Structure 1
Amino acid sequence: MQAPSMWRHTLTFFPQFLAALKERAESDSTVTVIGASDGRLVVPLVAAGYRVIAIERDPIALHGGEVQLPGDRTGHAMGLIDRLKREGFYDRVQVVEDDFLETGPATTRCDAVWTSCSWHYSANHHQPLSEFVNRMQRLVRPGGLFGAEFMMPITQRHHMLEHYTSPERLRQYFIGDWDVLLTLRTNEFSEQAHVGQLQDHTHRMGLLLAARASTPS
């Protein structure tokens, strides 16, 4: 039996991104996923016919290994690479094992870029949020799609960190050649303990989808 994703029970706005992608891009377009993790959202993109560039820095997410589970248990997590091989998708994914914020500028733009709850992690706070967003934007070709779901602030500590943001605050980065297509937000909701967050916890999440103009304005 195939090992399930470590993040299979967590909420995601990915269906909204996929619907916009199907509406705006060819079926064999290239999508870059920033923070690909163990492939939870990479596999459905490949299954839908897209070519994927998967960028991930965590060796366990990439190669699998022992992880701490809720209830003071440990278990083995399947990594992205083994998951792709089991699905027969390995040849359709370019896996980049690197820190997205430390890599050089991309030489080839893609048709869409997506990230899921990546920039709020403390490991990504060594660069301002604007740099993270700007690097993602630079990957998107004219006419392409940008998609990001992200954690919104709940506690006072969160309000002091720009990496816990909101759709309204993100809009300031999408002027000129960008058109914001959709923003969504949740109310506070409870989520069960999972890998990386070993106690039940409360979240707020947001989504921003934007399209780059086909020609510069």
Structure 2
Amino acid sequence: MQTTSLWEQTLTFFPQYLRELNDRHAPGATVTVVGASDGKFVLPLAAAGYEVIAVENDPQALYGGEILLPGSGLAHAPSLTQRIHAAGLTSRVQIQPHDFFHAELSELQADAVWTSCSWHYSANHRRPLGEFIGRMKDLLEPGGLFGAEFMMPVEDHHHLIEHYTTPDKLFRHFPSDTWEVLLTLRTDPFTERPHVGQPHDHTHRMGVLFATKPEHLNQGTRA
């Protein structure tokens, strides 16, 4: 499903995640999106028949308003709520307008969880990366699907920030007695065109990890 998200043209592994989700969970299952932004991932999940919990506390995403677009100047960005309503998907999306760590965990429980480049934002650096990943894992029951794409180090200072990580390092957060890592991928450095918040061409390197907590593995050990 194509959307008019401000982030529509940025690289993502989300299509691979959606295929994995479709293989493991039928429409009607619940997916929590951590860092829902303006709905780039929320809308296609809801359109595919999933019940979506959209976690987002950025005022621009929640309420819309003027935004500076590279090359075209000021424009009006619709809110997450407006985009969901315009797509006719209101009944399938529950917005949690909270910081991820301040929302009630019981209200975020889901069959699957997805995040895209959310933990590398400086606002999330006040907590160790392991806490962010651990809370995402805690949302899932055995059989749940974990998916995260993330920024890898490119510039020298990125190597000093654990939130710019690699698939190999993330692998350590998923012990084999309670989790099964399904997929890890990484890109070479690539040039991305200007987008919101970045007015010039810039270099990224991205990774992704999918994991599941199979029902047949030891459920008595907390990961």
Task: Give the TM bin, normalised by the shorter chain.
Answer: over 0.9
- Give the 3-state SS of the residue equivalent to 2:106 in structure 1: coil
Do the aligned partners of residues 107 and 62 (structure 1) sit closer, same or farther apart at CA in structure 2, a change above 3 Å counting?
Answer: closer
Q: Is the 8 A contact 1:101 1:127 kept in 2?
A: no
Q: Is the 8 A contact 2:149 2:209 kept in 1?
A: yes
Report 1:178-217 matches (<5 A).
178-217=179-218
After the TM superposition, which residues 141-160 of structure 1 pair with which residues of structure 2 at under 5 Å, given as runs? Answer: 141-160=141-160
Distance 1:108 1:90 in 2: 17
Task: Tell me the residue number matched to 2:45.
Answer: 45
Residue 177 of structure 1, CA deviation: 1.1
- Greater displacement, 60-69 / 138-147: 60-69
Asked if residue 6 in structure 1 is aligned to residue 6 in structure 2, the reply is yes
Q: Which amino acid aligns with 2:109?
A: R
User: CA separation of 1:47/1:107 partners in 2, compared to 1, >3 Å: closer, same or farther?
Assistant: closer
**How far did 1:72 drift?**
7.4
Structure 2 gap ranges (5+) = 219-223
Question: 8 Å contact 1:5–1:78 — kept in the other structure?
Answer: no
**Aligned residue identity for 2:28:** D
Q: Deviations over 1:61-104 (max 9, x none)?
A: 12211112214721111111000100110111010001102334
Q: Per the alignment, do residues 108 and 149 of structure 1 end up closer, same or farther by CA in structure 2, a change over 3 Å counting?
A: closer
Secondary structure of the structure 2 residue equivalent to 1:168: helix
Find the counterpart in structure 2 of residue 35 from structure 1: 35
* Aligned partner letter, 1:152: M
Cα distance in 2 for partners of 1:50, 1:38 equals 17
What is the aligned-residue RMSD (CA, Å)? 1.4
CA distance in 1, matches of 2:4, 2:20: 26
> What is the deviation of 1:216?
4.7
- Percent of aligned pairs with the same amino acid: 55
What is the one-letter code of the residue matched to 2:114? W
Residue 109 of structure 1: CA displacement?
Answer: 2.6
SS at match of 1:106: helix
Counterpart Cα distance in 1 of 2:109 and 2:82: 27
TM-score (norm 2): 0.93
Shift of 1:46: 0.7
SS, match of residue 173 in structure 1? coil
Q: Following superposition of structure 1 onto structure 2, how do residues 1-217 of structure 1 map, counting pairs within 5 Å?
A: 4-71=4-71, 73-106=73-106, 109-175=109-175, 176-217=177-218
Q: What is the TM-score normalised by the length of structure 1?
A: 0.95
**Residues matched between the structures, number:** 215
For 2:51 and 2:71, how far apart are their aligned partners in 1?
38
**CA 216–196 in structure 1, closer or farther in 2 if over 3 Å, else same:** same
**Measured at CA, do residues 168 and 65 of structure 1 come closer, stay the same or move farther in structure 2, by a change above 3 Å?**
same
Deviation of the 1:116 alpha carbon:
0.5
> Structure 2 CA distance, aligned partners of 1:8 and 1:101?
27
Q: Distance in 1 between matches of 2:152 and 2:192?
A: 14
Q: Which one-letter code corresponds to 2:174 in the other structure? A: F
Residues 177 and 194 of structure 1, relative CA distance in 2, 3 Å threshold? same
Q: Secondary structure at the match of 1:18?
A: helix
**Match for 2:53: what amino acid?**
I
